[in-house]
Structure 1
């Protein structure tokens, strides 16, 4: 059998190239000449590789639920956090829309060998700082040029919490480890990618009562997510179901703390109206034989009990459940 996959020798390739240059061989002749061919540049950012970011949108939705636990102890309320659909821009286009003073925290995703950027607005940092130290929830429109030491500490707490929530949100798709690299306040000094490189912008809006909504962004370079493009296109959800014990404990505690009215009835004698109208102070009403005390919970008889005294107060001792 002939070997159909034989490679051309160097002499045959040279003869083919000379024939194409001289015109002896027509470039339009050969096999599969009717196929459409599109040009491709190696190293270009082909956004179609990531599809519609389905998996990334699921990660953002899960992260939005998890990150509420970071802001709850600071704001002393449960904020509502909604993710925006991921958006692709060049880093230059994104940074052009930022103020000259922001909180920019750069981190490295070890498994993807790439970086990410967390962008926090200074006014939101001021709100968190004020509420964290007992102040009221209020906006701070005044612009500033630097963060105080207290605000730097709040930024550190929030950034660490967000990194933990991101690792938890990503773990169903793939486990990642996020390591803090550095922090800047001027977008021009935040070295994430080149200005012409594409980035994926994941924005989150935090709805707060009686003041304007706040927001923060998480930026992924497109090159960082390209190695897992097939995973990000996948619409198969993980079979791992997380057992949210904290939610279960809070629900259990809420149910167990519901107040229920209880009552203990010794006897329910009957009396005629003619006798009742003649009652006066000091009269004695016979109750007849009493077989324990009926113990009611919200008008439902649950126990038989005995009446007594403990620590100088009247009490009942539960004897048997009905």
Structure 2
């Protein structure tokens, strides 16, 4: 027994040590840096992605008059990331327009490829469509004017698409060409990136990006998630027809009032079996549904039962 105890003691100690080590490892504090977690697009922002597809079609109508050519615009999947991460990936020279969209908080950033702006100016004024030289310093006055019209046109279409969810009032806050001065939210805050790839018929593909603060979209997540926003196609017409057919079978209580005699309070209190209350039947009695008079007619008889023959239907029912 002693030998068994001596043999088992080290094993038990080792097991306890291992268990203790495992428990300590499980509960050991691990380093964590706030803001380093991977942001993922919210599933409740799916409505924003669908709105992006519609906005892509509208952006095409804004770009084509400048490009003077057929243009394709494709909406890319949403991406959620930190603002500093997005800003670090921008080139040193770019076009950034900050708009306030009331009642959204913190506004919205519109980023446009500067080389695309230069190409649009060349195409608009009859250029040959050759790729523009990469821009590295500043926009010319002509490019500034075209950029202003292009950005305002895109934001106008964005507001139109958003009108299904909330009425937005846009206002330009600033334009920047240096990402360092782009201040939408704090560097560690999450933003939702909505990219559009624009491909003119005779030019290279370019990018236009819209950046929303994730916190500004939170109050509208339920509306964005709940929106089906069908365009009124065949499915919508079929649904309306089926709804109309279902409503036709709904049964409603209908009543008619033959007479409305009046009694004093003393007469009402003195009522007893055998009393007779004289009434006067009107030649025409109403047909009432939910306290609303919808028709009137005369009392008669049909198949041995009292019946009401409709003489008049109220116009407000139709």
- Structure 1-normalised TM-score? 0.58
SS at match of 1:98: coil
Q: State the aligned residue count.
A: 199
1:140 to 2:125 alignment: no
Equivalent of 1:213, from 205, 228, 233? 205
For the residue of structure 1 that corresponds to 2:107, the secondary structure is: strand
8 Å contact from structure 1 (residues 53, 232) kept in 2: yes
Alignment gaps of 5+ in structure 1:
1-44, 242-322
Give, in whole Å, the separation in 2 of the partners of 1:210 and 1:129.
Answer: 14
Q: Is the 8 A contact 2:41 2:80 kept in 1?
A: no
Q: Distance in 2 between matches of 1:210 and 1:123?
A: 14
RMSD over equivalenced CA pairs, Å = 2.4
Deviation per CA, 1:273-306: give whole Å up to 9, x if none: xxxxxxxxxxxxxxxxxxxxxxxxxxxxxxxxxx
The runs of 4+ residues in structure 1 deviating greater than 6 Å are 45-49
How far apart are residue 235 of structure 1 and its match? 4.6
CA distance in 1, matches of 2:126, 2:41: 48
Which residue, 51, 55, 60 being the options, matches 1:59?
A: 51
Residue 240 (structure 1) shift: 7.1
Alignment deviations for residues 65-122 of structure 1 (CA, whole Å, 9 cap, x no partner): 1111111111111211000011001011111111010010000111223310000111
Out of 229, 234, 239, the position equivalent to 1:237 is: 229
Offset from partner CA, 1:230-282 (integer Å, 9 cap, x none): 112225225779xxxxxxxxxxxxxxxxxxxxxxxxxxxxxxxxxxxxxxxxx
Bigger helix share: 2
Is 1:193 aligned with 2:185? yes
Unaligned runs of 5+ in 2: 1-36, 234-318
**Structure-2 residue corresponding to 1:306:** none
Q: TM-score, normalised by structure 2?
A: 0.58
How far apart are residue 125 of structure 1 and its match?
A: 0.6
> Aligned in 2, Cα 1:48/1:119: closer, same or farther, shift over 3 Å?
closer
CA deviation map 1:162-188 (0-9, x unaligned): 111001111122221221111010000
1:123 to 110, 115, 130: 115
